[in-house]
Amino acid sequence: MDVEPVLRAYYQELDRIGNREVATWTKIAETIHDAAWAYYVFGRIHPFLDGNGRTGRKILKKVIKSRGLKEIVF
């Protein structure tokens, strides 16, 4: 599969997730869902078998921080 168009679509979706307003009562659940989605999809489309853990964790942190939640430490 050609990685470039898949990554482009992924980054567009990641930007949409980062800019989306979330209701206060569902903030934590939706943030966890979106962060898990971002981490999983990045790992699936990454072109190497070993994945890219550091970049995946940075993406996960970005989603969490974009919702105003505290940064997690790995």
Q: Domains in the chain: how many in total? A: 1
Give the pLDDT confidence score for residue 13 in this predicted structure: 93
- The verdict on residue 74 lying in a domain is no
- The verdict on residue 73 lying in a domain is no
Give the pLDDT confidence score for residue 22 in this predicted structure: 81
Give the pLDDT confidence score for residue 51 in this predicted structure: 65
Q: Determine the angle formed by the axes of helices 53-66 and 27-45, rounding to 10 degrees.
A: 150
Rounded-to-integer distance, Cα 22 and Cα 25, Å = 8
pLDDT tens, position by position, 24-55: 878 889 999 999 999 999 888 876 777 688 88
* Domain limits for position 52: 3-66
- The verdict on residue 71 lying in a domain is no
Give the pLDDT confidence score for residue 12 in this predicted structure: 94
Q: Does residue 1 register a pLDDT over 70?
A: no
